[in-house]
A and B are shown apart, each in its own frame.
Chain A
Amino acid sequence: MKRLVKKHPLAIRWFHWINFPVLALMIWSGFLIYWANDVYRIGFADTTLLKFFPQSFYEALNINGRMAEGMSYHFVFMWLFFINGLLYVLYTIFSGEWRYLLPNKHSFKEAWQVLLHDLHFRKIAPPQGKYNAAQKIAYTSIIVMGFGSIITGLAIYKPVQYGWLCTLCGGYTVARIIHFTLTIGYCLFFLIHIAQVLRAGWKNFQSIITGFDAEDVKVAETEEEKITDAA
């Protein structure tokens, strides 16, 4: 027999699965826009270690020469991204779900232990609630990043009307760099997230769709219950 343990509330599952395609569209349309002035790179002086992005990347994703299309999608899906993110934050606040998600003063130390454990340098993972310390930091950071994308996005979108916001972000050029860097951050988050989901296995993955974890209950335990109930 199995006992169903509630894991992810329905609302959170909706927010998660709306966010996934919407953020994917935002990143893709962002690349369509960025292509028109693709000046960012990682390097020093004249040495470029990584150019954002190589021509092969644009060709593989069919990104060349589609800026207008990118802008039109970006400024439509921004609303879904913003509203979904806002509802998620409000939900976590009012449902109390934030308790599982917000890191505390021990989280950074524990996250390090989680990392060592995940990399097989440490045998025992620190005790955890619904999410381990590394997850808490990651899932909270991603919300802060989302907030950053919206703020820097608005600063770039209307740099004269929201000039104060643009100044707050360090100016137009800096706001654009932050906006881009956050996007690369989402891509890295996605890669790690996928790797961790694959590592955690089916039982973990299915819970973001079904909402529950099915735990085995020993037959003996069940029968014991029956006896107790009868008595």
Chain B
Amino acid sequence: MKKEKLYTRREVMRKTIISFAEFTALMGAGTATWLYIKNLPPDNGLLGGVQPPIRDVLTANENIFSHSLSNDHLANSYPKSDAEINPRVNGNVGLQSDLDDTWQLSITMKNGDTLALSLNDIKNLPKTELVFDFKCIEGWSMITYWGGVKFSDFISAYHLNDEAAMKYVGMSTPDTDYYVALDMLSAMHPQTLVCYEMNGMPLTIEHGYPLRMIVPVKYGFKSLKRIGSVYFDNEKLPDYWFERGYDYYAGL
């Protein structure tokens, strides 16, 4: 018969207590680590920042998932008849001041010059239409129909190749209250549009008249309404929602 080690009640009790002590220590260490990270001061200078180790992982996520971003990966398109007649309006930051009659799109070029364009200048560029499922970071989505110019067409039409060779493009409303940053790959994606029409009509004020972005590879909060200025940089540019604790990349 196989020899089997037997234990007294006391020995079993001792082994059990040791196991429970180890278990409690490990669970305690896990909890302590979590509480330590959770209570770290958030990213410097941000209104609703994220704790640095958490931010590190989010940045790593950006590095991992930006690899799958490709001009061949397109957001699904839909027939125009599927588009929402009155798409939801979600946010009016940067739209509260009166729109100046002298509105122009102002582009800061690499050499420091400013290129000022009128709405007609933009409308004269080749037009692209897109019906896609607009996705809000809150979780809702809506099929919407847009008309405008591909950002990449706009770049080539105005010979902004040196600018597009930089890593980031930033945009802000004329009052500079709302501003977003896009990585250049997302901005140059074939579905990224500079729009002046929704549902075949000029944009309404609440949807971003006179000119807005539509960035299907990002959550809606990156699709800036009422573009005032456009600027480029190799460093990360300011982003309104990033400063309030959201992901910088926010790519779909």
Q: State the A residues within 8 Å of B (CB).
A: 1-4, 17, 21, 25, 33-34, 36-37, 39, 67-69, 71-73, 75-76, 79, 157-163, 167, 172-173, 176, 206, 209-212, 214, 217, 222, 225, 228-229
Residues of A within 8 A of B136 (CB): 37
A-B residue pairs in contact (CB < 8 Å), sample of 25: A1-B8, A2-B7, A2-B12, A4-B5, A17-B26, A21-B31, A36-B137, A36-B139, A37-B136, A68-B50, A68-B245, A68-B246, A69-B245, A72-B54, A72-B245, A72-B247, A75-B57, A76-B54, A79-B57, A158-B251, A159-B75, A163-B75, A206-B16, A209-B20, A214-B7
Residues of B within 8 A of A71 (CB): 137, 246-247
> Using a Cβ–Cβ cut-off of 8 Å, how many residues does chain B contribute to the interface with A?
52
Q: Quick one: which of A76, A160, A210 contacts B252, CB cutoff 8 A? A: A160
In the assembled complex, the Cα of A228 lies from the Cα of B251 at a distance in Å of: 72
Q: Quick one: which of B1, B16, B57, B141 contacts A210, CB cutoff 8 A? A: B16
Residue of A nearest to B247 (CB): A71
* Nearest CB on B from A163, distance (A): 6
In the assembled complex, the Cα of A62 lies from the Cα of B69 at a distance in Å of: 36
Whether A161 contacts B1 by the Cβ 8 Å rule is: no
The residue in A75, A161, A217, A228 that gathers the most chain B C-beta atoms within 10 A of its C-beta is: A161
Q: State the B residues within 8 Å of A (CB).
A: 1, 3-9, 11-12, 15-16, 19-20, 23, 26-27, 30-31, 34, 48, 50, 54-55, 57-58, 61, 65, 68-70, 73-76, 133, 135-141, 216-217, 241, 244-247, 251-252
In the assembled complex, the Cα of A68 lies from the Cα of B15 at a distance in Å of: 45
In the assembled complex, the Cα of A4 lies from the Cα of B11 at a distance in Å of: 11
* Nearest CB on A from B14, distance (A): 11
* Nearest CB on A from B148, distance (A): 19
